[in-house]
Amino acid sequence: MRGSGEMGERQKMLVLYATQTGNAQDVAERVGREAARHHFKPVVESMHLYDANELPQESVVVFVVSTTGQGEPPQSMRAFWRSLLRRSLGHRWLESTLFAVFGLGDSGYQKYNVTGKKLDRRLLDLGGQAVVPRGLGDDQHPSGFEAGLDPWLAELWVALRQHVPLPAGLEDRRPDETGIIILDPPKYRVTYYDSRAPESNLAAMPERSKTDIVERWIEHGRARAMVDSAGNPFGNAREHNSNSTGYGPPSMPVFAKLLTNSRITSEDHDQDVRHIELELGSSGTRYVPGDILTLLPCQNQASIDKFVSRCGLDGDTLVTVEAANSDVCTLTQAVDVEFMSEKTVVSLRTIVEALMDIDSASPRRYFFEVMSHFAEAEHEKERLQYFSTPEGRDDLYRYNQRERRTVLEVLEDFPSVQLPFEWLLQTVPRLQQRSFSISSSPLAHPNEAHLTVAVVEWTTPFKRKRRGLCSSWLASLDPKQGKGKVFLPVWFTKGAISLPSPSVPLILVGPGTGCAPFRSFIQERIALLNKGEAVAPVLFFFGCRYKSKDLLYGADWSAWSQGQNVLSVEVGGDFFVAFSRDQLEKIYVQHKITEQGKKVLQMMQSGAAIYVAGSADKMPADVLSAFESVIAKETGWPHDSVSKYLRDLERKGRYVVEAWS
């Protein structure tokens, strides 16, 4: 048993998370809150800020990890994971450590929750003792990932008591008669200042033009750094202002000029797809085919005005945000470090603009729990309290997540609730960066980056029309605005796919906007060909609905299929299109692959690399099945041999998938 049970002595619990969209961090913070209620001393931290070599010194560790793409760990976990895979670590390395793993994933993907499963197995291999079986949260579940989280947490606290006795004289906090736990203190402390008489000890607020994109970025960066430092004193320098980490916006991105924003689907087609061209200026930024362009979307100013008004806030008020005293602390707060920082003051509106997704993301369950403590109308309080319980989880999911209700909409549905800004800052989802595959080659288009963006639109179960925040904002931009000076702050990261040597033949499968990275690949090879270099041929399988409506970049593919270009039949390449709606029977890319089985296998046997990009729904699995069918039919191999062959290709980097939901 851990712990002595002496009065007031609490067992430390380390909660490590690796997140891509914020879900794992939300779960980790919930674990921290509940741990404090059970008289543990929780320390909640992102994996990239924790030294894995310290794990054997930890008595109790809870891991919360998400799975991204086609089975990849989040960027913030990769260094930590590599450290755990060292062969020098023995099977007794973690023999003194209790652990529990909760994974978040989407069963619509082939490699569902593989990160959590691999982590759990590796910790057991290293001698760690699992307190409970690993928990798995599924976004596809009718109640979302919390359907798996709620019972897993309940089991965790019961199981931990068998190893860590309750300190003498203490009792676990219990819900009140309504079933709701007493509200924890907020993790932030907000100090308000009179904007007409700023404090002398605050960082100076230079006069800035709101139309200056550079100065606006700097001001938003100050807000992000201040809030992140309040949660993690080293977050400013290590997590959010370093382009080398890839965990957040850089301190100074590339300010790319918008050159072109044109619709490349027909006006009568129900899907608006945009071709966007950006000029990178004198930044000197370089990228390679397969790289990713990332940006933060701008929120609608009318929505921000509405949010500020609904919450009874003055957007011009100057504030500072600091860490409040709390039982849940970060790693750097848990150790004896001295953190010195000049106070930063920003306007409240700047914080909302830069950090708080008020009109796109759906709030988490904790938002409703906090709201219940501030509801003045009894019927609203009862409904919010019900939503906050396990019994109300399914109804909350139907009301909130399935309808993709926004923070602003939820607040309007409960008008008697007036949340203090500290709680809004803590519970409103963070504004997330968006990433796009670059659809141009730097050789073909020096100093430019092109994007292929589908404007996201859908109808909710209650028949409400929705539009994606980032894609609709990008579609609205006009290069002629501001005398042709529309600039976007962007930065570049390495994608899941990268173009191999020019001598390697390629089989590309990219339906819809999945063609974006492959336009970059093909442009690059043609540019090399035009310089007199030898390049291998390309087989490209594209898919869309109608030849007349959404054959994206049709003129490009046609031109690149002529003469000695890489898609030309003359050189061993080819271009195939699956039009799914131009006939009664739907035809998809997987059907075209099986139709061209002999050509596909010949290319594979010549050493081709296979790349698949596009929707993560069913396409990657269907395409994999098509390749399995081709190999089995053309070689006569049994299924086990075919599967092993494709797994070997994947392990060697010759079968690569980049998919998105």
* Known binding-site positions for FAD: 404, 434-437, 468-471, 660
507 burial (CB, 10 Å; 0-12 / 13-18 / 19+) is buried
| C-alpha–C-alpha distance, residues 115 and 71, integer Å | 7
| Cβ 358 vs Cβ 408: under 8 Å | yes
* Main-chain phi, psi angles of 261, to 5 degrees: -145, 90
> What CA–CA distance (Å, rounded) separates 446 from 601?
35
Contact 231, 328 (CB under 8 A): no
Say if residues 330 and 43 touch (Cβ distance below 8 Å).
Answer: yes
| H or E element in which residue 125 lies | helix 114-125
- In the annotated binding site, the residues are 19-24, 66-69, 139, 404, 434-437, 468-471, 513, 580-581, 586-590, 622, 660
What is residue 119's three-state secondary structure?
helix
DSSP, collapsed to helix, strand or coil, labels residue 656 as strand
Q: Which residues are annotated as a binding site for NADP(+)?
A: 513, 580-581, 586-590, 622
The letter for the amino acid at 336 is: D
For residue 12, the SS3 value is strand
Torsion angle in degrees (nearest 10) through CA of 398, 403, 408, 411: -20
Strands 254-263 and 434-437: unpaired
Gap between the Cα atoms of 529 and 520, Å rounded: 14
DSSP secondary structure letter of residue 148: H
Binding residues for FMN: 19-24, 66-69, 139
The DSSP 8-state label assigned to residue 329 in this structure reads: B
DSSP string, 565-588: STT-GGGT-EEEEEESSSSSS---
Measured from the Cβ of residue 602, the count of other Cβ atoms closer than 10 Å reads: 15
